[in-house]
A and B are shown apart, each in its own frame.
Chain A
Amino acid sequence: MPGSMIHAEGLTKQFGTLTAVDQVSLDLAEGEVFGFLGPNGAGKTTTVRMLTSLISKTSGVAVVADCEIGKEADELKLRARIGLLPENVGLYENSTAYENLEYFGQLYGLDGATLRRNIERLLRTMDLWEKKDVPVATFSKGMKQKVAIARALVHDPILVFLDEPTANLDPEAAKMVREILLALKKEKRTIFLNTHNLDEAQRICDRVGILRTRLLTVGSPRELETRMSGNRTVVKLERASEAIAGAVEAQIGSGRVEVSGDQLLVDVDDPDRQNPVIAAAIVAAGGRIRQLTQLSTSLEEVYLKLIHEEALPS
């Protein structure tokens, strides 16, 4: 599939008798930012480790950056193409920020000039250039996280896996890292982002997947909210009437409108398209709108609902 960065089908990992990841199928297109959500122990890290060929899969297939997972001949090629920020930053504490990046750049086989250029560009982006010769042991957690992100990018990978880049950071450091993620998104890099943070996922990701051993659902944050909620539009009128309700029903579909006091409650599938239609129908029927609001389930509610019920929406 052209433009496909990740294609996984039935990806499964068992540790002994424990199934850590069960039958995960997903596709990521080039340039997409994908958020992988799930509670502790959901299998996010395990999935990333399989997709980066750090651990073997028990079953299923996956093609990542045109390399087949589990095929030995493809392994080095795959690792050269992708970057990984692991859960633990794993920097060499007594080495400087520059030395940490330099070592990895060399392992990726970059020539001297390219390496120096990339390191300087990245450390400047991370606002760490002035500190390049300071041992990272003296850095704050947020600064270390930035060095580790820079390390994952030092060879200009086309696909980056970030395993909870903002976990354990204070709000300010987390914000700093999030801004870097947004900048990466602007650069059109494909990003696979593991996170617990729904707000982060919502702001940064084009699509999210919710995992609890199995992949419960995938879609854009907006889509998930809509798909899960049975979205409702609430229209407050000067005076609600059956006639106005009928006019709206004629546009949106029968049985979808309910009158409650001076409000109309309308079930919608696609609020962006249908709300203007509703408003126009009301006005045409002589109704006067005081307020029109969208009642929707937030991504957080979707997440909690799925995680707890493990209901599988279509």
Chain B
Amino acid sequence: MRFSQAWLIARHDIRLIRSRKGIFYSLIAMPLGISLGFSGLIYYIAASGGSSAASYLPQFIDAFSFWFVIGAASLPTTIAAYGIVGEKVEKSLEPLLSTPTTDGEILLGKALSAFVPTMGAVWAGSVLYMGLVDWGVWGTFGHLYFPNLDIAILLLVLAPLVCLYSVEVSILVSARVTDVRSAQQYAGLVFLPLILLYVAGELGKPVLNDTNLLIIGGVFALIVLALFSTATKTFHREEILTRWK
């Protein structure tokens, strides 16, 4: 497996994505919206709560941070679906497969083309969010809230894992459908469990503490590995040429 060859494919696909304005803008808009919208809410809560806000503000900040994980799961589905369905529509997989590139390299390239822009956007948005929140709550807490261990686990462990999970599901789904829309619909199911976790957290259940986040991360890591072996089997050139529709 040559990473350079996979990266060639990823770079090519990312360039194609940039020309799809809808995908490109949603990639920017969602993380930006989360940062601006939620930091604005935090300002409002902090300002209206006065000094007592320090006691309940962290709960809000942490809950809002979780949205970056949801973003990491939802953003790559369209890109990954286009990466596969687009090639099917243009019938460009056969020439691609006839180049000296292994199936694994193509699969990795496709995954990277969805993973890299998504995580780039999510991390950029979260840095903005952390900066804005710190700036806004400095007066309330008397110290910086971010960075902390929670957000580190969310952004560096959980977000990449759910992003990979979402990418893999999208690739598997796209292999079986012929249009991007149905790929998205199926792949949309992937972040349902995340929404459930989020809602549970909002209802005051202590589900999103550090230990639990790491456990959830561990579960996703296992799922990612299991899906990876399924994906490599699905992404087999003979399978692609003779069975994919």
Contacts and interface: CB of A to CB of B under 8 A. Distances in A.
A37 B92 CA distance: 25
A152 B91 CA distance: 15
Contact of B95 (A15, A80, A90, A106): A90
Interface stretch (A26-34, A52-60, A170-178): A52-60
A52 B91 contact: no
B148 to A, nearest CB: 43
Interface stretch (A92-100, A245-253, A264-272, A280-288): A92-100
A109 to B, nearest CB: 7
Interface string B99-138: 1111000000000000000000000000000000000000
B91 A90 contact: yes
Interface in A34-71: 49, 52, 54-56
Contacts of A56: 238
Contact of A86 (B12, B19, B95, B102): B95
Given A55-B237, A107-B101, A109-B100, A90 B90 contact: yes
B90 to A, nearest CB: 6
Nearest to A163: B94
Contacts of B8: 103, 106-107
Contacts of A92: 16, 90, 92
A106 B9 CA distance: 10
A49 B237 CA distance: 11
A108 B237 contact: no
B99 A88 contact: no
A104 interface: yes
Interface string B216-241: 00000000000000000000011001
Contacts of A49: 241
A91 B96 CA distance: 10
B207 interface: no
B98 A52 contact: yes
A76 interface: yes
A79 B238 contact: no
A132 interface: no
A49 B102 CA distance: 16
B97 interface: yes
B86 to A, nearest CB: 8
Given A55-B238, A95-B16, A76 B100 contact: yes
A84 B96 CA distance: 10
A151 interface: yes
B242 A107 contact: no
Contacts of B98: 52, 54, 79, 82-84, 86
B97 to A, nearest CB: 6
Contact of A151 (B5, B19, B95, B100): B95
